[in-house]
Amino acid sequence: MKINRKLAVIIILIATVTLTAAATISDPEPVRYTNLKVLPKNIGSKELQGIMVDDFQDGLGVTCNFCHANAKDSRKLDFASDAKPEKQIARVMMRMTLGINKKYIKLKHPQIGNAALVVTCNTCHKGLPFPEGTEPK
Ligand code: HEC
Ligand code: HEC
């Protein structure tokens, strides 16, 4: 009986450790973006990338560096930096786009990147940084 009880304790300990490890593996640390003001702060990396590529890059016919500034000490982009005015304009445009969908299309909870959006960046931009006819003279 004594041995059995010891065995039971060991089994429970092993099970606890295994379950804890499994929980850690299946629940990876979410990506932490540090400077989101319009998108949800807990947005997943797949969803954010989808917005940056499909809505912004393709919608405006530009690449990431149109809005994102270079990092100071490398040739990589510093995605959290607000140094480029285009990024700030993009935020204004995001709020405007959400506003149009909410106020005029009457969508309840419009989110950039959501398939339910009726008006998107592409509705006006059609693959151009300035919608046709609005380029500065
Ligand atoms: C038209 C402008 C625009 C383009 C093009 C663009 N982005 Fe962004 N990006 C933004 C804006 C605006 C934000 C901040 C959104 C907010 O405040 O909610 C952002 C945020 C990000 C962030 C989060 C940074 C942080 O930590 O806060 C990442 C990562 C990112 N963009 C990657 C990319 C990549 C990769 C590309 C190219 C495939 C790209 N972006 C193209 C405008 C742009
Ligand atoms: C209702 C139409 C409309 C929608 C929707 C729209 N835009 Fe725009 N956007 C414009 C117009 C018009 C201009 C030119 C404004 C000007 O002449 O100053 C512009 C300009 C911009 C610029 C500045 C371009 C430059 O080279 O300086 C950026 C960046 C931009 N839009 C990003 C976006 C993003 C990102 C979205 C989606 C979240 C979006 N826009 C949605 C109409 C729109």
Tell me, in angstroms, the distance from the centre of ligand 1 to residue 40's CA.
13
Q: How confident is the model at residue 62 (pLDDT cuts 50, 70, 90)?
A: very high
In this structure, which ligand is nearest to the CA of 135?
Answer: 2
List residues near ligand 1 (CB under 6 A). Answer: 33-39, 48, 52-53, 56-57, 60, 62, 64, 66-68, 79-80, 86-87, 90-91
Does pLDDT of 18 surpass 80?
Answer: no
Does pLDDT of 81 surpass 90?
Answer: yes
Please give the pLDDT value at position 67. 98
Please give the pLDDT value at position 26. 56
Q: How confident is the model at residue 4 (pLDDT cuts 50, 70, 90)?
A: confident
Q: How confident is the model at residue 102 (pLDDT cuts 50, 70, 90)?
A: very high
Nearest CA to ligand 1 atom 16: 36
Q: Which residue has the higher pLDDT, 79 or 1?
A: 79
Please give the pLDDT value at position 71. 97
* Dist CA 85 CA 59 (whole Å): 18
Nearest CA to ligand 1 atom 6: 64
Question: Average pLDDT of 91-114?
Answer: 98
Tokens of 129: 């940084």
* Dist CA 68 CA 82 (whole Å): 8
> Taking a C-beta distance cutoff of 8 angstroms, is the pair 59, 121 a contact?
yes
Token pair 């299309």 is found at: 105
| Residue 130, ligand 2, Cβ within 6 A | yes
Please give the pLDDT value at position 34. 97
